Amino acid sequence: MGEILEISNLDAGPATSHGGELNLNPALQSEWLDVNGRGGYASSTLLNCHTRKYHGLLVARLAAPPGCYVLLSKFEDIFSCGALQHPLTCHQYPHNFFPEDYRFLKTFQQDVYPEFIYEGDGIRIRKSLMMVAEEDCLLVRYDLDNCPAPGVLRLRPFLAFRDHHRLTRENPFLRTKILTVKNGFSIRPYAGMPPLVIQTNIKPDWQEQSLWYHAFEYAEEASRGYEHHEDLFSPGILEIPLRKGKTVIVSVSLAPFYGRLSKKWDDEERRRRKLAQQDGVMAGTLGKAAPELRAQDQPGEGAAISGGEGVETAISPDEGEDQRLLRLLVRAGRQFLVRTPEGRPAIIAGYPWFGEWGRDSLISLPGLTFCCGRTREGTDILTHLARFERQGLLPNFFSEGDKSHAYNTVDAPLWYFWAVQQLLKYTGNNDAILEKKIWPTLKNILRQFLHGTIFNIYMDDNGLLHAGAEGRALTWMDACIDNRPVTPRYGYPVEINALWYNAVCFAAELALRFGDQEFYFQELIPRIRQSFQETFWIGEGAYLGDVYHGGHLDRSVRPNQIFAVSLPHSPLDADQGRQVVNRVRDELLTPVGLRTLSPRDQQYRGRYEGSSRSRDEAYHQGTVWPWLIGHFGEACLKVAADREEARDYLRLYLRTFLRRHFLEAGVGCVSEIFDGDSPHRPNGCIAQAWSVAELIRLYTLY
């Protein structure tokens, strides 16, 4: 069995509009997600009322045309029994929510797939959904558990057929021709796009009604300052008889299916339950590696731990819940591991709108693969990434179709060194792969950085690494407005030089291992260490400045300094490391991650909201990122005087965070970001790879 997440008593009630702004109830604020391992997905709110342009029932990552496309936006599914009609889906139009007072959805639960339970008037219906692994195919299942009389399920499909970043308008180019297939129909709305095939396990009554429905409204897009109305095309209605104890299965795919849909459902469910068992075993293995809570830490006698803002400090020995949360994390991590349409193993940075990003992939890789026993997947991704090295750089993001990748990042190649370190840490001796497939790439990166490469990246005479120029954003804090960085960090950024020091030290270890005298670096390592401390250390505040440029050190208190403590090779002494951890904990730590800027700073922005410009201004100016907790926790463990106390603290931190967050935003997922201000509202992508990965890795560390 999988781990069940349940949200009950969903008395949704009406969604009202005040001054044009939709009052979103909890069932509209929480979202579900299901993926197919190809980068495609299905997602919506718990009410199955779309609030984002990215929501859709069949969102496919295609090879031709390349990209991610919302093909089937949604079904309007209504169950009729006598004179009673029960909608299973909701719509938002301008100043109108349909149905106006919605109270049929009672429970949402996610085991190995999302399931919705509807009850009212003596009727109980379960609707379940699954994306089929390695296929662009969605299965929707309807089970009528209770009903006073036989009824009819009416399905009206709404087609979008557009890039998931765009919106559809009624147009004269859509082709309405319908072809009959087994228990369903096929339609190819646009030239150059694949067909959409909808079939059922019970022969339906098909009523062709080619209609455009106008002005579906997406509240989240409106709140983000984007165009938020869309027209969707419906080719007609499927009517399927449904009675108590019977099941209807609907398939939505790109090609006709001629087998039994019930078997296809059972095969996919069986596959998922097997994976859930494997995830449970892995979570148990990771949990056994964690220390037992100390006997004296019983309820009412909690260990007092110095925490950041709003972090609980009383230990309760609930190891069963820790195991449950870890199983959910391991399961959540699996959804980011994909095969691209070209067949290459990759990591999706986040759902629903991110693709493959080099930096995100490398930071996520250890937690999603090596820590979870997915060694082969992790090694394959690592070696495939090496093939994209150009002039010492790795792609910042990968274009669709493996063309025109963007190499505008300085830290991705440095994170590659760290990912290799994690490979060795978690999997042991991999000299054959390391020497033949990875070490040559590491050497190319080092040579380019030592002698200088594009984007003004070069090693200075003092050993520090310079990167970028005015108007360039090469680090992870890369938000730009009008093509200018919101957080200018060109020059000598602190985490880039911490990563650089770590890379040089690791390269010296490998050079000794493989007898490669070019990279022994006996003189360079102490030079970098000394220059790092002289350049970034602020003695009167006992922390590290953020970036050095033009003789000036930016003294902003940011989380980038934590990497100088957490990385395997630190350029700081032990006392400096402790002081950095203390400063980060005191000013940046929240219950959901680290702020990107101290709230004491005049540039601090505590809310991530509003227009695109407003959000970009806050993205790295106070917004909280949960992925940073992995390195903060690692740094805590490295400098702790009492490691047991530090482990207990981190255990409680994760438990408190995940216990709440798994039931909000993306159910069973970990969000990309949170507001810097309390109550730290989740925002950004509902499922972010490095958020999940670094929480998994933190579990393995304690």
Q: Radius of gyration of the chain from Cα atoms? A: 26
Q: Which residues contact 158 (CB under 8 A, 6 or more apart)?
A: 72, 73, 74, 75, 76, 213, 216, 232, 233, 234
Beta strands 337-339 and 345-347: pairing type?
A: antiparallel
Q: Give CA–CA dist 370/377, Å, rounded.
A: 9
**Average pLDDT over all residues of the chain:** 92
The pLDDT tens digits for 464-510 are 999 999 999 999 999 999 999 999 999 999 999 999 999 999 999 99
- Quick check: 32 and 108 in contact, CB under 8 A? yes
* First-to-final CA distance of the chain: 27
Q: Return the pLDDT at 283.
A: 85
Lowest-confidence pick of 1-15, 300-314, 563-577, 653-667: 300-314
Q: Give CA–CA dist 68/400, Å, rounded.
A: 9
Scored b (16 or more CB within 10 A) or e, 524-556 reads bbeebbebbeebbbeeeeebbbbbbbeeebbeb
Q: Give CA–CA dist 91/89, Å, rounded.
A: 7
- Which CA distances in Å does 371 have to 86, 283, 426, 602, 655? 46, 10, 7, 40, 19
What single string gives the DSSP state of each residue in 602-629?
A: TT------SSHHHHHHHHTTT-EETTHH
Indicate whether 427 pLDDT > 60: yes
Indicate whether 69 pLDDT > 80: yes
Q: Give CA–CA dist 155/48, Å, rounded.
A: 14
- Quick check: 662 and 325 in contact, CB under 8 A? yes
Q: Give CA–CA dist 284/107, Å, rounded.
A: 29
Beta carbons within 10 angstroms of residue 435's beta carbon: 14
284-291+300-701 placed in CATH 1.50.10.10: yes
Query: What is the band of 289 on the pLDDT scale with cuts at 50, 70, 90?
Result: low
Q: Which residues contact 278 (CB under 8 A, 6 or more apart)?
A: none
The pLDDT tens digits for 504-516 are 999 999 999 999 9
Q: Return the pLDDT at 591.
A: 98
Cis peptide before 65 (omega within 30 of 0): yes
- Quick check: 128 and 113 in contact, CB under 8 A? yes
**3-state class (DSSP) for residue 174:** coil
**3-state class (DSSP) for residue 468:** coil
Nearest to 611 by CA among 351, 228, 229, 222: 222
Q: Give CA–CA dist 544/59, Å, rounded.
A: 44
Question: Phi and psi at residue 129, in whole multiples of 5°?
Answer: -135, 145
Question: Phi and psi at residue 3, in whole multiples of 5°?
Answer: -95, 120
Q: Return the pLDDT at 102.
A: 83
Query: What is the band of 286 on the pLDDT scale with cuts at 50, 70, 90?
Result: confident
Relative orientation angle of helices 358-368 and 319-334, to the nearest 10 degrees? 140
- Quick check: 33 and 351 in contact, CB under 8 A? yes
What single string gives the DSSP state of each residue in 627-690?
A: THHHHHHHHHHHH-SSHHHHHHHHHHHHHHHHHHHTTSSBTTS--SEE-SSTT--EES-SEEHH
Q: Give CA–CA dist 684/667, Å, rounded.
A: 14
Q: Give CA–CA dist 146/162, Å, rounded.
A: 38
Name the pTM for this structure: 0.93
Q: Return the pLDDT at 186.
A: 98
Numbered ranges of CATH 2.70.98 in the chain: 5-255
**3-state class (DSSP) for residue 428:** coil
Query: What is the band of 404 on the pLDDT scale with cuts at 50, 70, 90?
Result: confident
- Quick check: 234 and 274 in contact, CB under 8 A? no
Numbered ranges of CATH 1.50.10.10 in the chain: 284-291+300-701
- Helix residue spans in 24-68 (DSSP H): 26-29
The pLDDT tens digits for 306-364 are 556 655 444 444 668 889 999 999 999 999 999 998 899 999 999 999 999 999 999 99
- Between these two residues, 455 and 433, which has the higher pLDDT value? 455
Residue type (1 letter), 310:
G
The tokens of 43 are what? 């997602």
What are 130's strand-pairing partners? Answer: 139
Residue 165 backbone zone (phi > 0: left; psi -120 to 50: alpha; other: beta): alpha
Q: Return the pLDDT at 303.
A: 27
Residue type (1 letter), 522:
Q
Q: Return the pLDDT at 305.
A: 34
Residue written as tokens 């090609």? Answer: 255
What are 93's strand-pairing partners? Answer: 96
Q: Return the pLDDT at 86.
A: 93
**3-state class (DSSP) for residue 566:** helix
Q: Return the pLDDT at 2.
A: 60
Query: What is the band of 540 on the pLDDT scale with cuts at 50, 70, 90?
Result: very high
Q: Give CA–CA dist 24/673, Å, rounded.
A: 20
Distance of CA 674 to the CA centre of its chain: 13
Indicate whether 231 pLDDT > 90: yes
Q: What average pLDDT does range 236-249 have in this prediction?
A: 95
* Three-class SS of 482-538: CCEECCCCCEEEHHHHHHHHHHHHHHHHHHHHHCCHHHCCCCHHHHHHHHHHHHHEE
Q: Return the pLDDT at 287.
A: 65
The percentage of residues in the chain with a pLDDT greater than 90, rounded to a whole number, is: 84
Beta carbons within 10 angstroms of residue 645's beta carbon: 18
CATH class of 5-255: mainly beta
Beta carbons within 10 angstroms of residue 484's beta carbon: 11
Indicate whether 290 pLDDT > 60: no
The pLDDT tens digits for 125-168 are 999 999 999 999 999 999 999 999 999 999 999 999 999 999 99
Q: Give CA–CA dist 46/394, Å, rounded.
A: 39
- Between these two residues, 550 and 432, which has the higher pLDDT value? 550
The percentage of residues in the chain with a pLDDT greater than 70, rounded to a whole number, is: 93
The pLDDT tens digits for 349-403 are 999 999 999 999 999 999 999 999 999 999 999 999 999 999 999 999 999 876 7
